[in-house]
Structure 1
Amino acid sequence: MATNDVPMAVPTAIPPTSIPHGEKPEKFNGADFKRWQQKMLFYLTTLNLVRFLREDPPAATEGSKAACDAWSHGDFLCRNYILNALDNTLYNVYCSLETAKSLWESLEKKYKTENAGLKKFIVGRFLDFKMVDSKSVSSQVQDMQLILHDLDAEGMKLNESFAVAAVIEKLPPSWKDFKNYLKHKQKEMGLEDLILRLRIEEDNRKLSD
């Protein structure tokens, strides 16, 4: 009896699983360089291109043309990934730089220097801050909390005990007795506890006026 020969299916090659790239950083416009740089480093790492940020071109010795071509291709990709993560104004400024390394170092030199200046400015605001009697203590404590937050954002987070002592030290002149009372308290308190105590004291003062 004749049988129908059914041709066997030829298995097709299964494509290799692609590794998803990291999320492409938003366009850098000159603000918050540190955050953009960290995102860009992660993105370039997922693309296996991060080494071009630190490497110089290989020496053009005899027999190394293939290595030089491979390096140039990788550097070209890395450089253009960085350029395409700049907004148009910055793209126009930095597009003339020929390697990823020179581009990256130019950005660091420009914006890390500015970041260092910002740190000094925030530290100056913290050191110079003094509360006055003409404004409510609660609102001035909020202003100081913003400065503490900025210090934290710049990697200069203060120990909580130090922050508490600093707020107490910066209380206005009419709070001298309460300041001394807080300084001599045996039990250590956190910043939130201190802020609550200051609000209660300020409310009591308003009632007694």
Structure 2
Amino acid sequence: MLFYLTTLNLVRFLREDPPATTEGSKAAYDAWSHRDFLCRNYVLNALDNTLYNVYSPMEMTKSLWESLEKKYKIESAGLKKFIVGQFLDFKMVDSKSVTSQVQDMQLILHDLDAEGMKLNESFKVAAVIEKLPPSWKDFKNYLKHKQKEMGLEDLILRLRIEEDN
């Protein structure tokens, strides 16, 4: 939406208050009001139909935009907490294949990256090793004491080989 409004040269109405009206500035206020009306309706038009009635009573683009930002930025923060919770609670079990569980963990790690919470490679490798199921205790200890640094892809390859054996 920001890109679209920028191309229409309307993005300033997301942050701008109306100009003060004086006798000589009626034309300027009317022009501002018309462009704010256009901007507001472009934003409303992009909303899902179920949200249109919620946000359409707002008379100015600035208040509409602030309300949308407040709602969705809070949801984004909640999403980050949810993904971190998934990562911290993730446990591998003996009843499922380690390879499929590692893939599930990779998805969580990808989501963390996508939300801007970058973890370095060594941390990811150590986290996967720590979350291996109880029956993998000996292999887990072997990996922990390994001197050579290993990347996540190398670890996944080693786990697949070990699982096949």
Q: Same fold (TM over 0.5)?
A: yes
1:21-58 residue CA offsets vs partner (Å, 9 max, x unmatched)? xxxxxxxxxxxxxxxxxxx1111111111111011111
Q: Does 1:46 align with 2:7?
A: yes
1:162 deviates by 1.4
Distance in structure 2 (CA, Å) of the matches to 1:187 and 1:63: 77
- What residue number does 2:118 align with? 157
Distance in structure 1 (CA, Å) of the matches to 2:50 and 2:148: 55
Equivalent residue for 2:92, pick from 115, 125, 131: 131
1:97-131 residue CA offsets vs partner (Å, 9 max, x unmatched)? 11111111111111221221111111001011111
Distance in structure 2 (CA, Å) of the matches to 1:150 and 1:90: 27
Equivalent residue for 1:168, pick from 116, 121, 129: 129
- What residue number does 2:140 align with? 179
45-54 or 176-185, which deviates more:
176-185
1:142 deviates by 1.1
Give ranges in structure 2 of 5+ residues lacking alignment.
none
1:92 deviates by 1.6
1:62 deviates by 3.6
Q: Does 1:71 align with 2:32?
A: yes
Distance in structure 2 (CA, Å) of the matches to 1:154 and 1:167: 20
* RCO comparison, higher one (Cα < 8 Å, 6+): 2
Distance in structure 1 (CA, Å) of the matches to 2:20 and 2:35: 16
Structure 1 counterpart SS, 2:126: helix
127-136 or 96-105, which deviates more:
127-136
Q: How many residues align?
A: 165
Distance in structure 1 (CA, Å) of the matches to 2:150 and 2:22: 67
Distance in structure 2 (CA, Å) of the matches to 1:59 and 1:88: 34
Give the share of equivalent positions with the same residue, in percent.
92
1:198 deviates by 0.3
Distance in structure 2 (CA, Å) of the matches to 1:187 and 1:48: 56
1:126-164 residue CA offsets vs partner (Å, 9 max, x unmatched)? 011111222211111111111112212222232222111
Distance in structure 1 (CA, Å) of the matches to 2:75 and 2:101: 28
Distance in structure 1 (CA, Å) of the matches to 2:145 and 2:28: 70
1:168-190 residue CA offsets vs partner (Å, 9 max, x unmatched)? 11111221221121122222221
Distance in structure 2 (CA, Å) of the matches to 1:46 and 1:161: 43
Distance in structure 2 (CA, Å) of the matches to 1:49 and 1:159: 40
Distance in structure 2 (CA, Å) of the matches to 1:197 and 1:77: 58
> Greater helix share, 1 or 2?
2
Equivalent residue for 2:105, pick from 141, 144, 155: 144
Distance in structure 2 (CA, Å) of the matches to 1:41 and 1:160: 34
If the length of structure 1 is used for normalisation, what is the TM-score?
Answer: 0.75
If the length of structure 2 is used for normalisation, what is the TM-score?
Answer: 0.93
Q: Does 1:110 align with 2:71?
A: yes
